[in-house]
Structure 1
Amino acid sequence: MRSPWPSSLQDDAVGNKRDKNKTDWVEATLSEFDGVRYLHLDSIWVQGAMRVKKPDRLELEYVQRMMAWMLWRDAADMTSGRAVQLGLGAGALSRFTRRQLKMKTTAVEINPTVISACRHWFHLPEDDDRFQVLNQDAGAWVADAAHWGTAAVLNVDLYDHEAAAPVLDDQQFYSDCRAVLADGGLMTVNLFGRSASFARSAARIATAFGSDQVWHLTPTREGNTIVVAARGVQVPDREELERRAAFIEERFDLPARKWLKLVRPLPMNIINQIRD
């Protein structure tokens, strides 16, 4: 089920396409079904979702799994530092890190119509001293040395309206992502799409971070594979991971015990590819 934006709200909520001096961005559209509001980029592909009566809940399973980085952080400082989201989607991760985790949060989104849609329809907080949405190119943002070493958490979910593969997925991009992280920082990446290659993308991430600092969760039913990469993190033992998972479930109502069962090291064929 998919419905366009109400025509009376399009210019205000999605951006004025009639201005010939502006880039002709793919417009954000929305649909609603069974109490859930979905964001699209003028296509059937879902770019994000929000349960209308529970806007701070992470509705989509793959978005919940983007929070799996929490397993690699000690409970005492799990929510410290700055969270950065590349690709705003429906703003679910940014809302969660800002409101639930109380982290200083920055989102980087190139399409201004997505930002407008999130402001109007997806309860995106207004900018303040702890929350900022930047209408910028994510690749240029991570390449800017002024941002290196500033993020404790980096969530990467970059797709266009075709959702064929990640928009940014080259070796330099992942190297810049690592540079953005502070020591002990963690990145999650959503790998999905008709033309996407898990092996190719994972090898690039592992080249940037080191194969011993990269893990993945088994794919969702929809085919989303979440990769977790760390900058200098010592992996705790199983008992400690289980304690953290229990804490995350109790404190933040996220299925962390399930994540723990789904976490895998990189396959040997990818590690061998890096060595070769």
Structure 2
Amino acid sequence: MNKSKKAPGWAPATLSEFDGVRFLHLDSIWVQGAMRIRKPQRLELEYVQRMMAWMLWRDSAELAQGHAIQLGLGAAAITRFCHKLLRMKTTAVEINPTVISACRAWFHLPEDDQRLSVVNADAAQWVAEAEPQQAQVLNVDLYDHEAASPVLDDEDFYAGCRALLAEGGLMTVNLFGRDASFARSAGRIARVFGSDQVWSLAPTKEGNTIVVAARGVQVPEREELERRAANIESQFKDQGLPARKWLRLVRPLPLSVIQNIEPRP
């Protein structure tokens, strides 16, 4: 099965289905997102599950409080999760209008309401103009139709992301950990956030590495992190969140990255 939605000037969002899973593409073979048709609230892709690793850094009692922002809509998996399951105020920013219409037609993305806003805009411009310190959670997954590398990946952009976060806020970023660009990208994030406020998970088998960056977060003791991980798995057992596995995969940035970080002027 293959369908497409087109808009002038944009790679059209296309759809395929296999073995009960619906995939989003942007006029290429590369997967931009996925949804299990009979379990639309489940986070199907492993790297998308790991984008939720910020949950480990938040106290269980405050887990679903505040404003969650996604830069890059994909198949709306994180947006649906934050809006419907966590019931957070949720904003998604997507530059390609065909992706938004495809998500609403094929990926169970609801219409905007009091807690949900889907914005058709360039993420860099939107971040630069956004009200500062409004988000507790920021998920960044910005790739072009070839899924080759992040389309926004400089220090000014990451500084804007940090400014968007309230104190105690957390950002997750999807990078390719097996690519030579990982050290460069991770170094830029660490230069903006501080190396003691940046961690990464081991790469998925596809090579995606999730970086977690925080604004003024104190890392809990291991026992507390284990308690939080167990609580996440119990609370969201149907959504595919192996939080105890995340905890085993989390690590500080490699020394080779940290040694090359110079203080931001």
Q: CA deviation at 1:24?
A: 1.3
Question: Which structure 1 residue ranges, 5 or more long, are not aligned?
Answer: 18-22
**Cross-structure match for 1:165:** 149
Percent of matched pairs sharing the same residue:
73
Give distance in 1, aligned partners of 2:52 and 2:175: 14
Q: How far apart in 2 are the matches of 1:256 and 1:153?
A: 17
Superposition map of 1:40-119 within 5 A: 40-119=25-104
Aligned pairs for 1:177-256 within 5 A: 177-192=161-176, 197-253=181-237, 254-256=241-243
Structure-1 separation of matches of 2:159 and 2:219 = 21
Q: Which runs of 5+ in 2 are unaligned?
A: none
Q: Higher Cα Rg: structure 1 or 2?
A: 1
Matched residue pairs, number? 260
Q: Deviations over 1:15-71 (max 9, x none)?
A: 4x4xxxxx4110000110000000000101000000000001000000000000000
Q: Tell me if structure 2 keeps the 8 A contact 1:164–1:193.
A: no
Shift of 1:192: 2.5
Q: Which structure would you say has the larger RCO, counting Cα contacts within 8 Å and 6 or more residues apart?
A: 2
Query: Conserved in 2, the CA contact under 8 Å of 1:163 and 1:194?
Result: no
TM-score computed with the length of structure 2 as normaliser: 0.95
Aligned-partner residue type, residue 255 of structure 2:
M
Give the match's secondary structure for 2:231: helix
Aligned to 1:20: none
Richer in strand (by share): 2
- Does the aligned pair in 2 maintain the 1:141–1:147 contact within 8 Å? no
Structure 1 residue 205: Cα displacement = 0.2
Tell me which residue corresponds to 2:134: 150
Counterpart selection for 2:121 from 129, 133, 136: 136
**2:46 counterpart letter in structure 1:** E
The normalised TM-score by structure 1 is: 0.92
SS at match of 1:27: strand
- Contact 1:166-1:193 within 8 A present in 2 as well: no
* 1:266 match: 253
Q: Secondary structure at the match of 1:147?
A: coil
Runs of 4+ aligned structure 1 residues displaced above 3 Å come to: 193-196
Q: Deviations over 1:130-184 (max 9, x none)?
A: 001000000111111x421000000000011111100000110001000000000
Contact 2:2–2:17 (8 Å) recurs in 1: no
Which amino acid in 1 is paired with 2:194? G
**2:14 is aligned with what amino acid?**
T
